[in-house]
Amino acid sequence: MTFEIGIMTFGELTEDFATGAVPSPRQRVRETIEQAKLADDVGLDIFGVGEHHRSDFVGSAPAILLAAAAMRTERIRLTSSVTVLSSEDPIRVWEQFATIDLLSAGRAEIIAGRGSYTESFPLFGYDLRDYAELFREKLDLLLKIRDRNPLTWQGRFRSPLVNADIAPRADGDTIPIWVGVGGSPASAVSTGRLGLPMALALLLGPLSSHRETVELYREAAAQTGHDAAALPISINAHGYVGSTSQQARDVMYPYFAQGMLDNNHQRGEGFYLSRPTFDVQSSPGAGLLVGSSQEVVDKLLTYHQLYGLNRAILQVGFGGMPQKQHLEAIERLGTEVAPIVRREVAAREEKAA
Amino acid sequence: MTTTITSTVSEGGTAAGAASAAGTARPEQPNGATLRVVVVNGSPNQPSKTMGLVDAVVGTLKGMLPVQMSQIDVYRLGPGFTGAIERDDITAETTPDVEAALRLAEQADLLIAATPVFRGSYPGLFKHFFDLVDQYALANKLVLLVATGGSERHTLALDHALRPLFAFFQSMTVPVAFFASAGDFDGTVLLNPRVYGRIEMGLTDVVDLLRTRASGTSK
């Protein structure tokens, strides 16, 4: 498998601490499509949009943003990152992504997640107490829709389907469905048992923190009779590619700290990430993909070696980074980082073979 | 519930020399006795991760010897229980269910003390149950500690909160206690094989002792 590198965004609508300006939603959706276009132009492999239902994000309908991106791009794959499947209608999800697949000539993907944000549950009339059960059932339905048509299916959370004709179908053979995993062993085991590709989210902490998760995933896959070595794994982590190590940190830090304050609650309040803490989280053994091109290359290769990765998705701009700096990181990732990582990984795999 | 763990059967010797056999029929006790296991469950939820972990423990135990399990849900014992200030407030006439529950725990061959970790310890109702249990009824009784928590940061509640409670009762607490955190479960089903491995090991340590303590009659 060739190593794939991409970017993802939530479409933040956060006040810029430096200027006090909040981008208008109209500006932000256009900027999001511009990011996808540049990522495609510089040869990145994947573009992802996350799903959040709050006014500090513009990405509540990733499928629509991805459909717009499909019309402005040629080669890049387009994925949700993630679709909060537990509070979604799997039929609607399939129909939307199959449509993106047609618009993009077969470039659509889905990362299904349980969701680390919970706003969507009350919004769509779901009970958080059914968190695990909802995901299991809806994932089962989504996979069955993908694999056969018409479909007869029965579950707990909706009326049964009898010979349901669900259209359109995928542009090619199929649409890849990944499962987003935050690192809990049970998620890794159940994803492995299903033989689905796993997208690992890593926020802060050592870059080795998912070692056990990956091990459990491969064990579970092998025990269920899947070819564990052939299953793709992706790492999704925050980062920024700067002109120098220092510049990358200086640009990323204030926005990322703002994002943590707005989104990562501890003791009922935002969690303030101090600069020294951020710098530790940017050190060679920690998970953040921030630094010069060379630094990000080294870190991606470490990740690859550690987990046997096939894909890395860099989340740029968390906390509302202005478009100019955001685009600069995308450009460096595509032109300076991706070619070297792909080459090194190919050489490693050749050696192993 | 499917597990990849096989039942371990001791063959009349030491647990250390146990032969591993998948899907073995339930072993018969030489004297036909059944181990009377009583679970005191401190979780308010139904179903719960705490009982999910207990199910994994009892499932493994059933592969080792005949087991008869009863469960006491402290959150379902009602106002007669919560309003009791001392054991004398509980009588067979006024609160028969609570009286029966206390006696069941006092007479168990193996008591499983199972609780979620709330605010650094076991919940108050769980403690209230043991405040009403006869002070000497649990002396030399085999007690197994089981706890669940939001993350592994709560693991030591087993040894820093639960174990001292049974040290007071002078119980014979099983050395290996079992903990699982939220990420080990899918809903309330325990998935993490490492926790299963620990259960297997912890129970194998004491299986011979459990056999000698079995006092129930098998049907």
Chain A residues lying within 8 Å of B191, measured CB to CB: 185-186, 189-190
Smallest CA–CA distance, residue B79 to chain A, in Å, is 26
In whole angstroms, give the CA distance from residue A9 to residue B88.
64
- pLDDT tens across A138-163, in order? 999 999 999 999 999 999 999 999 99
* Residue numbers of A between 178 and 207 with CB closer than 8 Å to B: 183-187, 189-190
Dump pLDDT digits (tens) for A286-345.
999 999 999 999 999 999 999 999 999 999 999 999 999 999 999 999 999 999 999 999
The answer to whether the CB atoms of A185 and B194 lie below 8 A apart is yes
A224 interface with B at CB cutoff 8 Å: no
Q: Structure pTM?
A: 0.86
Tell me the shortest Cα–Cα distance from A38 to chain B, in angstroms.
38
Residue B98: pLDDT band with limits 50, 70, 90: very high
Size of interface A-B (CB pairs under 8 A): 35
Is residue A86 within 8 angstroms of chain B, CB to CB?
Answer: no
| pLDDT score recorded for residue B21 | 37
Architecture of domain A4-352: Alpha-Beta Barrel (3.20)
Site from A114, A116, A189 to mutate, B interface, most B CB atoms within 10 angstroms: A189
Verify whether the Cβ–Cβ distance B193 to A219 is below 8 Å.
Answer: yes
Could you give the percent of chain A with pLDDT greater than 90?
87
Helix (H) or strand (E) holding A234: strand A233-242
H or E segment at A208? none
Position B4 scores a pLDDT of 27
Give the whole-angstrom CA distance, residue A126 versus residue B173.
43
Which segments of chain A does DSSP mark as H helices, in order? 25-41, 62-72, 90-103, 120-123, 131-147, 185-194, 211-223, 245-263, 275-281, 293-307, 323-332, 338-352
Q: Closest approach of chain A CAs to the CA of B192, in angstroms?
A: 6
pLDDT tens-digit series, residues B35-77:
999 999 999 999 999 999 999 999 999 999 999 999 999 999 9
| CA nearest to A193 within chain B | B191
Query: pLDDT confidence of A248, banded at 50, 70, 90?
Result: very high
pLDDT in tens, A158-177: 999 999 999 999 999 999 99
Domain boundaries, chain A: 4-352
Do B183 and A186 make contact, defined as CB atoms within 8 angstroms?
yes
Task: Identify the closest residue of chain A to B195 by CA–CA distance.
Answer: A185
Residue B186: list chain A partners with CB under 8 A: 132, 136, 186-187, 189-190
pLDDT of A262 over the 90 cut: no
pLDDT at B12 over 60: no
Average model confidence (pLDDT) across chain A: 95
Tell whether A132 is within 8 A of chain B (Cβ). Answer: yes
Question: Cα(A166)–Cα(A153) distance, rounded to whole angstroms?
Answer: 12
Among all chains, which residue has been given the structure tokens 């006024």? B94
What confidence tens digit (pLDDT) does each residue in A23-55 have? 999 999 999 999 999 999 999 999 999 999 999
Contacts of B152 in chain A (CB under 8 A): none
Specify the pLDDT at position B24.
43
Burial of A190 (0-12, 13-18, 19+ CB in 10 A): buried
The CATH topology of domain B35-217 is Rossmann fold (3.40.50)
Reported as type and span, the H/E element at residue B196 is helix B193-213
CB contact under 8 A, B184 and A187: no
Boundaries of every domain in chain B = 35-217
Q: Looking at beta carbons, which residues of chain B come within 8 Å of A224?
A: none
Q: How high is the pLDDT of residue B22?
A: 37
Cis peptide bond N-terminal to A232, omega within 30: no
pLDDT of residue B8: 27
Confidence band, pLDDT 50/70/90 cuts, at residue B31: low
Q: What is the mean pLDDT of residues B137-151?
A: 97
Give yes or no for a contact between B61 and B146, defined as CB atoms under 8 angstroms apart: no
